Amino acid sequence: MGFTELLVNYIVAFIAKTGYTSIVILMALESMVAPVPSEAVMPFAGFLIVEGKFTFAGVIFFSTLGSIIGSLISYYIGAWGGRPIVEKWGKYLLLDKHHLELTEKYFTKKGDITILICRFIPVVRHLISIPAGMGRMNIFKFIIFTIIGAGLWNGFLTYVGYVLKNNWKEVMKYSHVVDIFVVVIIVVAVGYYAYKFYQNSKKNQD
């Protein structure tokens, strides 16, 4: 068994054991500023649909519920604490202040529809709820746009995982290539987060 298959089996087993609860928690974290990418969660939920342990409707419902919870937390962080609280505590979650500033400008320029559009944009989707809270966006409109955007994105990633699992034997024929690709991604990701943590710590000392 190659590295990729071993890793996938471990993640799928973990999600299967913890059930929909883990989907809600992980997607809530993903919708906040925590470094939990939905691309590393939802496809594996698609695997479990193929195995008959989850249903498509269940995955979409609970993942979107998690997205709403995380987004609302971020919204109220922005509404009640604003930029000062984000700048004070964001470094512990590797929050890049530059990314937050870009997100604020994008939200100011595009308006409420940004909440829907940014669900499909990496990095920005982790932060967009904060400027929405800072701008006191209508909460009902915020929830509706979050449901639509998160539901579509989570559904897409789940379907990707579903298709991938159905073709898993074909994919594993190239397991040695996939292993190298996955290891490179992990090394780059770890290196990036280590670099960001170092940068944030240095800025804090200054």
- Average model confidence (pLDDT) for the chain? 77
Whether 39 and 30 have beta carbons less than 8 Å apart is answered as no
Q: Using 50, 70 and 90 to split pLDDT, how confident is the model at 74?
A: confident
**How far apart, in whole angstroms, are the C-alpha atoms of residue 131 and residue 105?**
9
For the cut 70, the answer to whether the pLDDT of residue 15 exceeds it is yes
Lowest mean pLDDT among 48-57, 93-102, 135-144: 93-102
Count Cβ neighbours within 10 Å for each residue of 141-164 and write b for 16 or more, e otherwise: ebeebbbebbbebbbebbeebbeb
Mean pLDDT of 142-154: 91
Task: Give the angle subtended at the CA of 47 by the CAs of 157 and 162, to the nearest 5°.
Answer: 50
DSSP string, 155-180: HHHHHHHHHHHHTHHHHHTTHHHHHH
The H or E element that residue 132 is part of is helix 129-134
Give domain limits for the chain.
Answer: 3-205
**How far apart, in whole angstroms, are the C-alpha atoms of residue 23 and residue 25?**
6
Nearest to 78 by CA among 142, 14, 163: 142
**How far apart, in whole angstroms, are the C-alpha atoms of residue 38 and residue 41?**
5
For the cut 90, the answer to whether the pLDDT of residue 165 exceeds it is no
Q: Quote the pTM value.
A: 0.74
Whether 150 and 67 have beta carbons less than 8 Å apart is answered as yes
Count the Cβ atoms, other than its own, within 10 Å of residue 196.
16
For the cut 80, the answer to whether the pLDDT of residue 13 exceeds it is yes
**How far apart, in whole angstroms, are the C-alpha atoms of residue 66 and residue 68?**
5
For the cut 60, the answer to whether the pLDDT of residue 187 exceeds it is yes
